[in-house]
Amino acid sequence: MNVLVIGNGGREHALAWSLLKSPQVSQLYCLPGNGGTACLEKCENVPLSSSDFADIAQFALDHKIGLVVVGPEVPLADGITDYLQAEGLKVFGPTRAGAQIEASKAWAKALMQAAGVPTAEYASFTNREAALAYLDQQGVPIVIKADGLAAGKGVTVAQTLEEAREAIAAAFGGQFGAAGQKVVIEACLQGEEVSILALTDGKTIYPLLPAQDHKRIGEGDTGANTGGMGAYAPVPLVTPELLERVRGEILEPTLKALQREEIDYRGVLYAGLMITPAGDPQVIEFNCRFGDPETQVVLPLLETPLLDVLLACVEGRLAEIPQLTWKNEVAACVVMAAQGYPGSYAKGSEISGIDRAVAQGSVVFQAGTRFLPPQLLTDGGRVLAVTACGANFDQAFERAYVGVNCIDFAGRYFRRDIGYRVRATAWSESMED
């Protein structure tokens, strides 16, 4: 079978890497892909934009693509699944209607409210003055969210009224374009964040292993929010009993609410959760796609062939796969970023040492890279995600940091405390340069 993966990040490299483990995949294409996917055996990058639906459809038909896997949220929200399905192609990823669960915070909150899913109290506004008046009533801490897609930059957890007012002003002032013309204000949940990615065919839903991301740029979870500086899986906090609660109280009611909206949701339902101090799960937000870098720690632990599961979702027969099987290991991931990220950063620096990292037992998923033979160059803010597995988290993170220290590029930056919640020690000799 020929498979097409759409996207150019570390998530898409991980998806391609995992899909290529299946002997059923004869050829894989990544559109547009990156330096990592360019170097995979039986994988070819396609120089098309993920917004060129007509050209993508023609390419898929010409190359007899049996499955299209959509990575990023933007093409899903823009209706790529609807377009390709109309051309007779099989697509893993929700339709435009389903992608609203990420593309509109207000729509998702209303859906959760109707489904009885535990989440923070909220109100939505299209008027700045009304939003400011509500803020004065609620006080701080409080969360301000641009309603639409804002490349991960539309959420402010405000600790002061001044910070909250600035976030509201920025949204209505056009900082996020159309995404900020509606604002959601919600109560600030307290506890520990975890990510539950679940796969569904619209009728059956299977949660994957829980993962925990590290969003802040600085050690000790300080500084600006990023797309994610590292992750690990599974999360000891999420016991089998708690995962079953998530399934019964959050995932299945949300899927039923989507069904009531006559939305046939086939793809990833990603629940960003807060586990409260009392041990109760509450939804912070939903996403309509695989997480990044959560995918880079979940997929290396999956033993069930990924292609089999994704096809079962697309073809509406997920229940035929009785359960997913997993390695009896844990996985750790450390993101290597360009200096200056998440602000401005330089591109075009040569990357060296990936082969040495792989030889030491790491899997290096590439994100912001491009391959100009014979050089691999930086081409984004988050450049690489270095992943390793082990019998325990100390072992997995030690291996990951050994891999990190094999790799070099100008201005490389990484957090040295990823996984501090689950490691016996937050610092390791392997982290010394």
For 173-229, write each residue's pLDDT tens digit. 999 999 999 999 999 999 999 999 999 999 999 999 999 999 999 999 999 889 999
pLDDT at 153: 79
Gyration radius from the chain CA atoms: 21
Alpha carbons 375 and 158: distance in angstroms, whole number: 43
Alpha carbons 178 and 160: distance in angstroms, whole number: 26
* % of the chain surpassing 90 pLDDT: 95
Does 429 score more than 50 pLDDT? no
CA 194, chain centre distance (Å): 12
Q: Are 347 and 378 in contact (CB under 8 A)?
A: yes
pLDDT band at 433; cut points 50, 70, 90? very low
The tokens of 146 are what? 């641009």
CA-closest candidate to residue 30, choices 66, 5, 55: 5
State how beta strands 382-390 and 65-70 pair. Answer: unpaired
CA 270, chain centre distance (Å): 8
Task: Give the containing element (helix H, strand E) for 133.
Answer: helix 128-138
Q: Which domains does the chain have, with CATH numbers?
A: 2-95 (3.40.50.20), 127-181 (3.30.1490.20), 192-320 (3.30.470.20), 330-431 (3.90.600.10)
> Position 232: which residue type?
Y
For 254-311, write each residue's pLDDT tens digit. 999 999 999 999 999 999 999 999 999 999 999 999 999 999 999 999 999 999 999 9
Alpha carbons 385 and 211: distance in angstroms, whole number: 15
CA-closest candidate to residue 120, choices 108, 129, 104, 128: 108
pLDDT at 345: 96
For 13-33, write each residue's pLDDT tens digit. 999 999 999 999 999 999 999
Fill in the DSSP letter of residue 63.
Answer: T
**C-alpha torsion 408→413→414→416, nearest 10:** 100
Q: Are 268 and 365 in contact (CB under 8 A)?
A: no
CA dist list (Å): 63 to 27, 37, 93:
10, 18, 20
Alpha carbons 300 and 17: distance in angstroms, whole number: 9
Does 428 score more than 70 pLDDT? no
> Position 16: which residue type?
A
Does 99 score more than 60 pLDDT? yes
Does 426 score more than 70 pLDDT? no
The tokens of 150 are what? 């804002």
Alpha carbons 365 and 371: distance in angstroms, whole number: 14
Strand order in the sheet with 65-70: 43-45, 27-32, 2-7, 65-70, 91-92
pLDDT band at 159; cut points 50, 70, 90? very high
Strand order in the sheet with 183-187: 122-125, 183-187, 142-146, 155-158
Q: What is the largest CA-CA distance in the chain?
A: 60
Side-chain-side CA neighbours of 174 within 13 Å: the count stands at: 0
* Residue 425 phi, psi (nearest 5): -135, 140
Instruction: For residue 294, give every residue at least 6 positions away whose Cβ sits within 8 Å of its Cβ, in sequence order, or none.
Output: 195, 197, 211, 213, 228, 231, 233
CA 332, chain centre distance (Å): 15
pLDDT at 225: 84
CA-closest candidate to residue 233, choices 283, 293, 323: 293
Alpha carbons 155 and 148: distance in angstroms, whole number: 10
For 236-249, write each residue's pLDDT tens digit. 999 999 999 999 99
CA-closest candidate to residue 228, choices 298, 304, 140: 298
